[in-house]
Amino acid sequence: MLVKICGIQNVETAEAAITSGADFIGFVFADSKRKITPEKAANIAKVIPSSVKKVGVFVNEEVDRIKAIAQHVGLDYIQLHGDESPSIAKDLPYKIIKAFSVDPNKLQDIQDYPCDYYLLDSPKGKYRGGNGKTFDWRLLEKVSLSSKKVILAGGLSTTNVEQAIQLTQPIGVDVSSGVETNGKKDQQKMMDFIKAAKKTRKDDSIGNIHHA
């Protein structure tokens, strides 16, 4: 089971997430209370081992700026969290995570998007993602997505992640606010979340997954 800890803003939190077993570290470069500058992200990236993948989260950003930030920070994945067209994903020379807000009327639109992972999130609130709300996981039964390409997000925490995984059988889970206390990443919550997620299925790792 892959785990992405998103909204990392300092070295200490990144190191705690890595020690706890995170597979992805997410940096938010879009409007968010967890937004980080490329310079700070690049500094944090220096302590992240190559076995842990660095993800940059962007919302409707210019392709040239995405490329510039990705190169500066040393990103491994680009997470497109806005209304980006498939052509934008194809223009980026990086592995792509495409986030979709789960809308019952638009689930069929997801399947043909060119990406390595689909990140399925709750409907947008003030910001795209990171709103700490779950969606009806049973909706995923209505769409034919390979479970090996689905990362589940939206309102996950230590208390519900095992149930969410059992119901949806994703390849990974993504968490941000669910491992925070008073708006800041909580090291104990990160540890507990990762432990709970990974005990559901231990055989998945970035290294042995073949992308479509």
Alpha carbon 78 to chain centroid distance?
10
Which residue, 94, 96, 98, is CA-closest to 82? 98
The residues carrying an active-site annotation are 6, 121
- 69, part of any domain: yes
Q: How far apart are CA 29 and CA 57, in angstroms?
A: 6
Residue 87 structural domain: 2-205
Q: What is the pLDDT of residue 94?
A: 98
Q: How far apart are CA 44 and CA 9, in angstroms?
A: 8
Contacts of 72 (CB under 8 A, 6+ apart): 38, 39, 42
Which residue, 24, 9, 41, 18, is CA-closest to 117? 24
Model pTM score: 0.90
Q: What is the pLDDT of residue 19?
A: 97
- 210, part of any domain: no
Q: DSSP strand E in the chain: where?
A: 2-6, 24-28, 53-58, 77-80, 95-101, 117-121, 150-152, 172-175, 180-181, 184-185
Q: How many CB atoms within 10 Å of residue 83?
A: 9
Q: What is the pLDDT of residue 209?
A: 47
Q: What is the pLDDT of residue 126?
A: 55
Contacts of 112 (CB under 8 A, 6+ apart): 86
How far are the Cα atoms of 75, 114, 174, 199, 208 from residue 156, in angstroms, in the given order? 24, 26, 8, 16, 25
Q: How far apart are CA 93 and CA 67, in angstroms?
A: 8
pLDDT digits over 88-143, tens only? 999 999 999 999 988 767 666 788 899 999 999 887 655 555 556 788 787 777 77
- 8, part of any domain: yes
Tens digit of each residue's pLDDT, the chain (212 residues):
999 999 999 999 999 999 999 999 999 999 999 999 999 999 999 999 999 999 999 999 999 999 999 999 999 999 999 999 999 999 999 999 999 988 767 666 788 899 999 999 887 655 555 556 788 787 777 777 788 999 999 999 999 999 999 988 999 999 999 999 999 999 999 999 999 999 876 555 555 544 43
Q: Give me the CATH number covering residue 119.
A: 3.20.20.70
Q: What is the pLDDT of residue 211?
A: 43
- 211, part of any domain: no
- 26, part of any domain: yes
Sign of CA pseudo-dihedral 87, 92, 94, 98? negative
Q: For residue 38, give the 3-state DSSP assignment.
A: helix
Q: How far apart are CA 115 and CA 117, in angstroms?
A: 6
Indicate the number of domains in the chain: 1
